Chain A
Amino acid sequence: MSAAPGVTTTPNNGYKLRAEQLGVVYARNGNAVAALEDINLDIKDGEFICIVGPSGCGKSTLLNAMGGFLPPTSGSVTIDGEAVRGPDRRRILVFQERGVFPWLTVEGNIGFGLSKLPRAERKERIAHYVQMVRLQGFEQSYPSDLSGGMRQRLQVARALAVNPDILFLDEPFGALDSITRVMMRAELLRIWLTERRTIVFVTHDIDEAVQLADRVVVLSSRPAKIQEILTIDIPHPRNISSPRYLTLRDELLKQIGLAYEI
Chain B
Amino acid sequence: MQLSVRLRPVIFILVLLIAWELAVRMHSGLLVPGPFAVAAAIVELLYHGLLLKYVVASLFRVTWGFVLACITAIPLGLALGWYRRGELAFNPLSQIFRPISPLAWIPIAILWFGVGDLSAIFLIFVGSFFPLLLTAMSAVHNIPAVYVNAGRNFGLNSSAFVVRVLYPAVMPQLLVGMRITLGIAWLVVVAAEMIAVNSGLGFLIVDARNAGNRYDLVVAGMVVIGVIGLLLDLGMRSLEQMKSFQWRSSEE
A interface residues with partner B (beta carbon < 8 Å): 67, 69, 86-89, 92-93, 95, 98-99, 101-104, 112-113, 115, 142-144, 162
Contact = CB atoms under 8 A, between A and B. Distances in A.
B251 A87 contact: no
A191 to B, nearest CB: 19
Main secondary structure of the interface of B (DSSP, over half): helix
A59 to B, nearest CB: 17
A213 B90 CA distance: 51
Interface of B: 144, 146-147, 149-150, 152-155, 160, 164-165, 168-169, 171, 243-245, 247-248, 250-251
Given A142-B243, A144-B251, 14 more contacts: A69-B153, A87-B153, A88-B155, A95-B146, A101-B147, A101-B150, A101-B165, A102-B247, A103-B169, A103-B245, A103-B247, A113-B154, A142-B244, A162-B154
Contacts of A103: 168-169, 171, 244-245, 247
Contacts of A115: 160
Contacts of B150: 93, 95, 99, 101
Contact of B153 (A93, A101, A104): A93
Contacts of B152: 69, 86-87
A61 B184 CA distance: 46
B247 A144 contact: yes
B146 A98 contact: yes
Contacts of B149: 69, 87, 93, 95
A104 to B, nearest CB: 8
Contact of A102 (B153, B154, B155, B251): B251
Can you list the 3 inter-chain pairs with the closest CB atoms, starting with the nearest? A102-B247, A144-B250, A103-B168
Given A98-B144, A98-B146, A101-B147, A92 B251 contact: no
Given A99-B146, A101-B168, A103-B169, A112 B154 contact: yes
A102 to B, nearest CB: 4
B251 A98 contact: yes
A90 B247 CA distance: 29
Nearest to B155: A89
A83 to B, nearest CB: 17
A92 B171 contact: no
Nearest to B154: A113
Nearest to A90: B155
Which of A69, A92, A103, A113 lies at the interface centre, i.e. has the most chain B CB atoms within 10 A of its CB? A103
A143 B147 CA distance: 14
Nearest to A88: B155
